[in-house]
Structure 1
């Protein structure tokens, strides 16, 4: 594939994500699996698409600076300029003259001479003049919003919750890539054996301080490894691994995973059960639950039963006081995983957060009666918004004085997290800038007495 057609493919993906709401990670995955992208170009395609999406508001600021009538631009032309500006300003791999030549070729093919002339003129102006600085913007919210490409409402909201300095650091961290981490399937291979075998294959790994099963991949494409091909490894962020680690799982327990898809935490729980007991895995959509079943089968786990259902109505399937352990990995805004799914930050608003917080509280209200008297319920989200985290827990505890935060949760945290900046009386908030992981919230609840 030529660089020209590579950039044309990147533009196609950006248009589908930006204009039609498609998911960037799914489209990139499809493109890479299509075998139309040369192996040497796969990383560049991924970087161009994710980078352009991550920096969209910054790139729009540049377009508005260099284009006389930006509102008159056709959507594909705007995205072509975003893509080209991203490479010119944020990448050093391709010289400007090559970027300009390819962009003009794409404009010529998709449009007419007037459009290709405009693209050529705009890009050459940027090359000649240089890009405008964000530091000249006096308003802090606007400056952070445009410099880090986060919607102004979100920046303002985080400043009110966490302060100016922390917000700026969070936003900046969301632009940086994080190391990939994997979970070893201990029923198939020990972690020590996995480390040795990966080293023999040329991979560099480090042990996770969040999970005894976790490895951080420092060098090499782990998806190509023999261990991954044999389902001895599961791709999972370290923050996500922490969930099962903090559930006090013991063999032969009866466990409920109320919002289980796509199954990373479900299968981790099943592994920690040593394939004993049973995990009841529910999710709202039957197709999503199928993903959990497929994952369980691949990992050789037979202690997971899946079912599609609204978890707010599980009392129809289970008696009160049924489960030793319950996980509510609640549907959330996903604002903790922005760097892996950059389109999230453009597709959410404050109304979504309030709506989700209501659902999260309903889940706690309706599922908590299913917990045994001496059971433990772990609540988690992959967001960093207090409304979905601390305030949901506070509202639940206020309405249910027979429940309390399990204080042993804090003493059982991995050593690296015991002094985490995000610890509150309500639980643990992990920010994306803290440990090079996803942003995550978790806490553990139990019945009093």
Structure 2
């Protein structure tokens, strides 16, 4: 086997070709990292290239188009090879152009036939001689924004309509920055101080989250490879996602329903607030058996399995197994378009359309309507999504309240008093606010 097969650049091209066929970027990356022995520097380059090419795909394709007559007719790996070369050349300042071109041509030589090598060499040299096309040659302003930030036109237009042009551009610009490596400390087992010490002793650089009091941000090193991770002292969870469970105000003896629970991150966060001896329990639902097993595995790793009942059930059918007023608290972390996760899962931006949000809205409303009768009077139901479109957020809450006058909207609390000057009772975290995931949280009290 050629040494080219094991370089971060070739592995990135291989991953990108698969991701174009529907695989998730994070799963492909994890698989490659597990299969190949790489040092931290190579892992960082591989990760940077895969996410970078996906994030900037529309920009890179715009630059490539004048030099390749029919780019989408190319063999997928050849196209991804050229796009990855462009990404390195234009976005990775520390890698010399000569090194980028030489290794790109070497990969073409080893993985393809002589014709592919000549083709790739010719394209790279022509780009270098002619220069890349400028964005200001694009006449349509929305198309220009789309290419500049590599965002679909429909999303640009929708965010402008909902939030205004300035906020829209701040959001889409922020989404091409790297995602933070954020952790939530497991209070059932440890403290923020103890986890910080453990990770620092392992050579990682860690700082406290400015969003969540249980959050830590790793700025250097890989937390998932540590003993503290294996022992369950923390879990990987975005800072915004950590805000959802505190909004429930869970008490130690509460009966809690986590209606859409997999993979169990928020389930284990709820469970850490419960006391099994006092009767506290969280019923964690998912429609798929394999995901229910995953919830159970996460609960065991986080040492809270005695407070978690992982159950295979569609949340829309919750009344077939649970009586009215069974729960003190209900979390509906609803299935959504995931558009708040574009920094972490960049391929989402190319896969979704506005109609997807409208279709999901029906499911979200159906889940809320189904679980509402099982909440006790005076109980709290928290609704959350990891999207930034009002069709799945504010519109869902407005429609639910119109049909359920027994509920009232309360101000979503945060322990760090985030967005204290907001006029809305709901909480919207946008990707540019704190460079965390986009999230929406609403708290509903049953009268």
TM-score, normalization: structure 1?
0.93
Q: C-alpha displacement at 1:369, in angstroms?
A: 0.9
Render the CA deviation track for 1:96-150: whole Å, top value 9, x for unaligned.
2222222223223343333222211111122233322224434221111111111
Q: What pairs with 1:421-432 in structure 2 (closer than 5 Å)?
A: 423=422, 425=424, 427-432=426-431
1:331 is the counterpart of 2:335: yes
Distance 1:234 1:140, change over 3 A: same
Greater alpha carbon shift after TM alignment, 260-269 vs 150-159: 150-159
Counterpart position of 2:285 = 282
Would the aligned equivalents of 2:230 and 2:301 in 1 still touch at CA under 8 Å? no
Shift of 1:214: 1.7
* 1:9 and 2:14 matched: no
Where does residue 441 of structure 1 map in the other structure?
440
What secondary structure sits across from 1:114 in the alignment?
helix
Note the C-alpha offset of 1:72: 4.0
Q: Does 1:357 align with 2:361?
A: yes
3-state secondary structure, aligned to 2:309: strand
| Structure 1 counterpart SS, 2:16 | helix
The alignment partner of 1:175 has SS state of: coil
Preserved contact between residue 245 and residue 266 of structure 2 (Cα < 8 Å)? yes
Q: Work out the CA distance in 2 between the residues paired with 1:92 and 1:261.
A: 40
Which residues in structure 2 correspond to 1:254-333 (within 5 Å)?
A: 254-275=255-276, 277-301=280-304, 302-333=306-337
Partner Cα distance (2:215, 2:110) in 1: 48
Q: What residue is the counterpart of 2:374 in the other structure?
A: 370
- Residues in 1 aligned to 2:64 and 2:331: alpha-carbon distance in whole angstroms: 46
Residue 102 of structure 1 aligns with which residue? 103
Shift of 1:40: 3.3
Determine the C-alpha separation between the residues in 1 that align with 2:105 and 2:194.
52
SS class of match (2:444):
strand
Question: Alignment length, in residue pairs?
Answer: 442
Per the alignment, do residues 405 and 344 of structure 1 end up closer, same or farther by CA in structure 2, a change over 3 Å counting? same
Gaps of 5+ in 1: none
Cα distance between partner residues in 1 of 2:96 and 2:349:
30
Q: Is the Cα–Cα contact under 8 Å of residues 394 and 426 in structure 1 kept in the other structure?
A: no
Q: How far apart in 2 are the matches of 1:208 and 1:10?
A: 31
Decide whether aligned partners of structure 1 residues 106 and 159 sit closer, same or farther in structure 2, where only a CA change above 3 A counts. Answer: same
Question: Which SS does the other structure have where 2:378 is aligned?
Answer: strand
Q: Specify the alignment match of 2:191 in structure 1.
A: 190
- Counterpart of 1:252 in 2: which secondary structure? coil
What whole-Å deviation, never above 9, does each CA across 1:397-433 have from its counterpart, x for those lacking one? Answer: 11112211024x35x55323323xxx45351110000
| Structure 1 Cα separation of the partners of residues 198 and 73 of structure 2 | 57
Summarize the Cα distance change of 1:197–1:105 in structure 2 as closer, same or farther, 3 Å threshold. closer
1:394 equivalent in alignment to 2:398: yes
- The aligned runs of 1:25-424 (5 Å cut-off) are 25-275=26-276, 277-301=280-304, 302-407=306-411, 409-410=412-413, 414-419=416-421, 423=422
8 Å CA contact retained: 1:261, 1:288: yes
- After superposing on structure 2, the runs of 4+ consecutive aligned residues of structure 1 that deviate more than 6 Å are none
Report if aligned partners of 1:15, 1:76 keep a CA contact under 8 Å in 2. Answer: yes
Contact persistence 2:261–2:295 (CA under 8 A)? yes
